[in-house]
Amino acid sequence: MLCKLSFTHKIIYIHSYNRIKLEMAKILVIDDMEGIRQAITNTLESEGHTVSEASNGKEGQQAIEEEDFDLIITDMFMPEKDGFDIMTFARARNKTMPIIVISGGGVALTADWALTGAEAFASATIQKPFKSEVLIQTVNEQLAKADA
């Protein structure tokens, strides 16, 4: 048995065995490290999401201006504009936008310190390196909260 519930930006299928799967969220991934950005994109696309990429904060801010996203994943430390700039800009446009911050730390800060600072603005944080299962779980939790 399959039930279909429609929300503004995604469809939730509830299977008879009580498994809920979120599909077709529009997600922006902002990270200056191409390998990480591509790994995140591949993981999310394999889950049915539509993903746009930005290689730095300036490109990310431009993407946020041009399109509406269901969720943003951003690195903390990037050229031109950092994760705090992205969070501030995104929150000014949409106060309830789910934002996941990822970081492996920077030149002067450990990942723990960077993510602790981000927690005031972010919906969730993930420390690099991370497993794809952690990413998927965090994304699904944030999308579910956004629809609640």
CA dist 55 and 52 (Å) reads 10
pLDDT at 57 over 80: yes
Place 55 in a pLDDT band, splitting at 50, 70 and 90.
very high
Domains in the chain, please, with CATH?
A: 25-147 (3.40.50.2300)
- Cβ within 8 Å of residue 88, ≥6 positions away: 121
The larger pLDDT score, comparing residue 10 to residue 2, is at: 10
pLDDT value of position 105: 61
CA dist 8 and 19 (Å) reads 20
pLDDT value of position 110: 54
pLDDT value of position 5: 44
- State the pairing for strand pair 71-75/26-30: parallel
| pLDDT tens sequence across 70-128 | 999 999 889 889 999 999 999 999 999 999 999 876 545 555 655 565 667 889 989 88
CA dist 94 and 42 (Å) reads 26
pLDDT value of position 3: 42
Joined tokens for residue 72:
């943003």
Place 137 in a pLDDT band, splitting at 50, 70 and 90.
very high
| pLDDT tens sequence across 3-23 | 444 444 444 444 333 345 545
Determine the distance from the C-alpha atom of residue 20 to the mean position of all C-alpha atoms in its chain, rounded to a whole number.
19
Q: What percent of the chain has pLDDT over 70?
A: 74
pLDDT value of position 79: 86
CA dist 47 and 22 (Å) reads 8
pLDDT at 52 over 50: yes
